[in-house]
Chains A and B, each alone.
Chain A
Amino acid sequence: MFFHIVLERNMQLHPRYFGRNLRDNLVSKLMKDVEGTCSGRHGFVVAVTGIENIGKGLIRDGTGFVTFPVKYQCVVFRPFKGEILEAVVTMVNKMGFFAEAGPVQIFVSNHLIPDDMEFQSGDMPNYTTSDGSVKIQKDSEVRLKIIGTRVDATEIFCIGTIKDDFLGVINDPATV
């Protein structure tokens, strides 16, 4: 799920960035620092959307660096147990398949793939229904339900299932 939230961060800036462009420098450094990072609490920071407030800078003794408390708005992405996600399949094997939704890596084990879908190996491994109408392979888009999440410093792992109504392949021409 996406959220638009306000976060706060103490930014350290080298004196060479002071001057007219101070604010721009702060913002671009902020984007570089936080976009693409993960935290267990908020999930994955997708993008900084605005600056709420930049506090007074505090000069550090000795170095000349200045610390600014910055409050910024950002879009974060964090998956939750029970959430329905759409994801792109990255790898299919006999254990199940892996899929990605942005920074989130999801594993759907074959326990959680409907029983009527069987694994077919070959140079394009896939799970296919016995009548061949539905096929999950690399690059398929699937709708799945998250049943477990773990957020690390840089990665988000999820366990997903497609063993439920309205879950499974969504981009297959046969089912659209």
Chain B
Amino acid sequence: MFGNRDFIYLTDHCVNSDRLYSFVRFKVKNYGSCEATSGLTSSLAFTPEQMSVVTDSPVHSSNSDDFIAFLDAELGASSPESSPDKEAENEDELESVRIKRHKIESTEETEGSTSEGIMKQNLETSTKVDVCTHPGSFGSMCIRCGQQLDGKSGVTFGYIHKGLRLHDEEISRLRNTDMKSLLCRKKLYLVLDLDHTLLNSTLLAHLSSEESYLLNQTDSLRDISKGSLFKLDYMHMMTKLRPFVRSFLKEATEMFEMYIYTMGDRPYALEMAKLLDPQGEYFNAKVISRDDGTQKHQKGLDVVLGQESAVLILDDTEHAWVKHKDNLILMERYHFFASSCRQFGFNCKSLAELRNDEDETDGALAKILKVLKQVHCTFFDKHQEDDLINRDVRQVLSSVRSEVLSGCVIVFSRIFHGALPSLRKMAEQMGATCLAEVDPSVTHVVATDVGTEKSRWAVKENKFLVHPRWIEAANYFWEKQPEENFIIKKKQ
């Protein structure tokens, strides 16, 4: 973003003072490199006219203190008239208030007849200066009045520009104005995690021997938009984009303003953004990395400039979003590489080792895109156009979720105690009814063992007997899964 300085343009520079006026115009290519700047010396021809300031002024001195003192004196002398911007001169303003007050007092003293009412009025008008609230800072200067601030207060927005901080009121002001234009465009916000959600990365050194064939199959970094497997030598990494991700982003951008939010560091995040968005059409300055968050090991929406009631989050890690669970759509993890499987304690072969991959048209991202479309469509339902601003996407999300298992009546049998509460909660959020004991209304018995009393009852009564993964799968895919795929295997 800011590293790109292959073309820099310095142009007419003048100051609001009659005496100081320098006029130099040149264009420089490859400004950053030493050779180029040195080369510039010869192309610059300074005639005495152009540098008139220099030749007949005390600037032409090696004493830097003289130089600065001269400038400050010159600019200081001219600034009050030349700067009609009241806010810019906060100190001067206070000074003038003091002077005015002094004047009023002195007129009262001399004339003695000035009525107190008028004096008060005078004071009020003179103090009713628009005092800047310092809504934020850039390089420790107020973004509104330019005054030096201590620079420690407010939320940092390093992902937009280092040194940019905003205060809470300013953030909510920005959110409010943005919300209106967003809803006009029929859009919501979507915060996307990178690893295991949109892609999978591994260090080259961690590739297993069965995966080494991938090294010959990587796609060219010259034409990123056509590839899905990339070798990033300078980061010693290989990255595989999740199947369907390009179509996903293309369709999602019609419905959402998208952010990337990753626990990876900033260089990694930007590199991945480049792979996902080579044209820069989706994530313009909206890539948030762990370096930009306000809390360690937590992701928060405080650095996202969007109203929480309009944000959806796609992430594979629920506990990263403690404060925003209601905004979260939990993703099934994408493990393409063996190192990624190992990291999560799976001992199975990786997709890469099996020379397999998720289905392009029926994989996790394709399924979640359907959910996003449904939520978006429900949110912008025609009948409620007037009070869009009061709608809450979290409620829409939860109502869509509660359709998934609606009508199912579930009894759990011999489920590991630690797992039961979360399974039950999951099932209930998806609209299922959970009972403690079997009765005729029960539709599903969820168990890990066919031998339990309830399991045998299910078989006898011709009810569905399924593994707990049936619930987890429904939770990931937002769709009731075919029961026959989750039959419990008999224990040997």
Contacts and interface: CB of A to CB of B under 8 A. Distances in A.
B50 to A, nearest CB: 9
Contacts of A2: 13, 22, 24
Query: Interface extent on A, as a size class?
Result: 35 or more
B135 A111 contact: yes
B267 to A, nearest CB: 18
B15 A107 contact: no
A1 B281 contact: no
Contacts, number: 206
A161 B163 CA distance: 18
A41 B68 contact: yes
Nearest to B87: A147
Given A28-B38, A95-B174, A123-B284, A42 B64 contact: yes
Contacts of A95: 136, 143, 157, 160, 164, 166, 174, 305
Interface in A88-119: 88, 90-91, 93-96, 98, 100-102, 105, 107, 109, 111-112, 118-119
A157 B163 contact: yes
A84 B163 contact: no
A159 B146 contact: yes
A26 interface: no
Given A105-B2, A150-B139, A150-B140, A7 B68 contact: no
Given A35-B34, A82-B78, A121-B257, A6 B13 contact: no
A171 to B, nearest CB: 10
Nearest to B13: A1
B147 A148 contact: yes
A75 interface: yes
Contacts of B230: none
Contacts of B148: 148, 150
B60 interface: yes
Interface residues of B, number: 77
Contact of A81 (B138, B146, B182): B146
Interface in B27-82: 28, 31-32, 34, 37-38, 40-41, 44, 46, 51, 53-54, 59-62, 64, 67-68, 71, 75, 78-79, 82
Given A80-B71, A95-B166, A111-B143, A3 B59 contact: yes
Contacts of A125: 284
Contact of A75 (B34, B44, B67, B83): B44
Interface stretch (A10-18, A43-51, A59-67): A43-51
Q: Is the interface of B mostly helix, strand, loop or mixed?
A: loop
A85 B13 contact: yes
A95 B285 CA distance: 12
A129 to B, nearest CB: 15
A88 B28 CA distance: 13
A6 B178 CA distance: 50
Given A96-B143, A111-B144, A47 B22 contact: no
A94 B15 CA distance: 29
A42 to B, nearest CB: 7
Given A31-B34, A84-B14, A147-B85, A42 B174 contact: no
B88 A81 contact: yes
B251 to A, nearest CB: 15
Contacts of A23: none
Nearest to B2: A90
A82 B82 CA distance: 7
Interface in A150-174: 150, 152, 157-159, 161, 163-164
A33 B28 CA distance: 19
Contacts of A32: 34, 38
A146 B82 CA distance: 12
Interface in B114-152: 135-136, 138-148
Contacts of A35: 34, 37-38
Contacts of B140: 150
A36 to B, nearest CB: 6
B259 to A, nearest CB: 12
B22 to A, nearest CB: 5
B79 A41 contact: no
B482 interface: no
Contacts of B16: 82-84
Contacts of A96: 143
B397 to A, nearest CB: 23
Interface in A114-156: 118-121, 123, 125, 141, 145-150, 152
Nearest to B10: A102
A3 B136 contact: no
Given A91-B161, A157-B138, A5 B280 contact: no
Contacts of A145: 85
B1 A157 contact: no
Interface of A: 1-8, 28, 31-32, 35-36, 41-42, 46-49, 71, 75, 77-78, 80-86, 88, 90-91, 93-96, 98, 100-102, 105, 107, 109, 111-112, 118-121, 123, 125, 141, 145-150, 152, 157-159, 161, 163-164
Interface of B: 1-2, 5, 8-16, 20, 22, 24, 28, 31-32, 34, 37-38, 40-41, 44, 46, 51, 53-54, 59-62, 64, 67-68, 71, 75, 78-79, 82-85, 88, 135-136, 138-148, 157, 160-161, 163-164, 166, 174, 177-178, 181-182, 185, 257, 279-282, 284-285, 305
A-B complex: 9 closest residue pairs judged by Cβ atoms: A148-B146, A157-B139, A147-B146, A109-B143, A148-B141, A123-B281, A107-B138, A159-B146, A4-B54
Given A94-B177, A112-B144, A159-B141, 7 more contacts: A7-B62, A46-B10, A83-B14, A83-B16, A84-B14, A125-B284, A148-B88
